[in-house]
């Protein structure tokens, strides 16, 4: 009990002494200064060597399942623009052409053509040419002359059909001079005037056609035409012809056309006597693709001449050996071939 009182008195005395000793301190500022120096005691280094864990040689198979999750993304359509390629500037086109030439002996050449292209849906052209030579100064009547001129055109109507036509005139002059080769001339070699050795042919051709200018909705192509010519020869030879053609094609598919052609060819000859030769042709055929590579055409050509009917084959097979480089063709065709003056 006494010790407790003694301890309390000691504390009170200490506190009183402290308060009396710090009466000069500022109540707002207190500065504490303390110096401390830390030192570590000596220690020995311990080296530790790591040990690799044993390798894991077990085999594991993992399988991942990814669930598709479509995401709708709205974005504006890209603007695709062609890449510009520089090229040489094309020269302006010419509608007309003319050529003139001279040669020996006494040769004259001329060629002229003009195309009208300013009309929409139309083509129109005119042409003319001439060639002649004259060696009459050295060999009597050794000369010749050919002249031709004509016009032709096509017009496409808004309804989808087109018409074409043309007219042509040809004049051919031949002089038979084989009687007077220089190495064969003698005092008795005869002499002839131009009219005596000349043979002249004047030929007039006219044609007209109508056909579908664009693909039809029913995949049906058609064409009908008529052509005629008149040949007047001097001395007295005359020939006239009219040729009628009708064609139709039905496209079952892009590679399977069904065709039918009709032709009537009427010719009349006149020299020392008059003759007629009329031929009729009917030619149906069908073309199909085999295995997507081979093309087989099967048809027949039925002809009539002076009530005499003939049947000719129209069969062909096209087989590509190397695509785009080499193909093989095999087939058989037959028809009537008319021989006449004009052709």
Show pLDDT as tens, one digit a residue, over the chain (343 residues): 444 444 444 444 444 444 444 455 555 666 666 666 777 777 788 888 888 888 888 888 888 888 887 888 888 877 787 777 777 777 777 889 999 999 988 999 999 999 987 778 899 999 999 999 998 888 888 889 999 999 999 999 988 899 999 999 999 998 876 676 666 666 666 778 878 888 889 999 999 999 998 888 888 999 999 999 999 988 788 999 999 999 999 999 888 999 999 999 999 988 878 889 899 999 999 999 888 888 999 999 999 988 889 999 999 999 988 887 888 989 999 998 887 765 5
Predicted TM-score (pTM) of this structure: 0.64
Judge contact between 221 and 174, C-beta under 8 A: no
Burial tier of 49 (Cβ tally within 10 Å: 0-12, 13-18, 19+): exposed
Q: Could you tell me the two tokens for 311?
A: 């049947």
Per the listing, tokens 């710090």 go with 22
For residue 120, what is the DSSP state?
T
Q: b/e string for 290-311 if b means 16 or more Cβ within 10 A? A: eeeeebebebebebeeeeeeee
Q: 10 Å Cβ neighbour count for 47?
A: 4
For residue 16, give the 3-state DSSP assignment.
Answer: helix
pLDDT score of 2: 45
pLDDT score of 328: 92
**Cβ-based neighbours of 99, under 8 Å, separated by 6 or more:** 109, 110, 111, 112
Q: Could you tell me the two tokens for 319?
A: 């087989």
pLDDT score of 58: 81
């Amino acid at each position: 009990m006494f010790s407790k009182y003694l301890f309390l008195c000691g504390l009170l005395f200490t506190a009183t002494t402290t308060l009396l000793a710090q009466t000069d301190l500022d109540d707002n500022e207190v500065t504490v200064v303390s110096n401390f120096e830390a030192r570590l005691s000596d220690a020995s280094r311990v080296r530790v060597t790591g040990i690799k864990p044993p390798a894991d040689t077990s085999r594991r198979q993992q399988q991942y399942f990814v669930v598709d999750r479509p995401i709708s993304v709205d974005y504006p359509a890209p603007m695709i623009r062609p890449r510009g390629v520089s090229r040489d500037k094309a020269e302006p086109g010419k509608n007309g052409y003319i050529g003139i030439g001279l040669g020996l002996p006494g040769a004259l050449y001329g060629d002229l053509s003009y195309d009208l292209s300013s009309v929409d849906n139309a083509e129109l052209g005119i042409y003319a040419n001439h060639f002649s030579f004259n060696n009459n100064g050295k060999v009597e009547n050794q000369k010749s002359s050919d002249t031709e001129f004509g016009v032709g055109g096509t017009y496409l109507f808004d309804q989808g059909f087109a018409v074409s036509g043309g007219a042509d005139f040809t004049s051919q002059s031949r002089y038979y001079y084989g009687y007077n080769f220089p190495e064969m001339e003698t005092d008795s070699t005869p002499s002839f005037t131009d009219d005596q050795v000349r043979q002249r042919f004047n030929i007039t051709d006219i044609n007209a056609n109508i056909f579908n200018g664009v693909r039809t909705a029913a995949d049906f192509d058609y064409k009908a035409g008529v052509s005629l010519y008149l040949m007047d020869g001097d001395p007295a030879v005359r020939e006239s012809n009219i040729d009628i053609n009708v064609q139709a094609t039905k496209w079952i598919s892009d590679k399977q056309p069904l065709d039918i052609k009709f032709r009537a060819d009427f010719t009349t000859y006149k020299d020392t006597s008059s003759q007629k030769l009329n031929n009729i042709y009917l030619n149906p055929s069908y073309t199909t693709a085999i295995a997507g590579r081979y093309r087989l055409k099967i048809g027949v050509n039925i002809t009539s001449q002076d009530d005499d009917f003939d049947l000719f084959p129209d069969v062909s097979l096209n087989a590509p050996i190397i695509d785009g480089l080499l193909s093989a063709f095999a087939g058989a065709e037959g028809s009537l071939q008319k021989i006449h003056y004009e052709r």
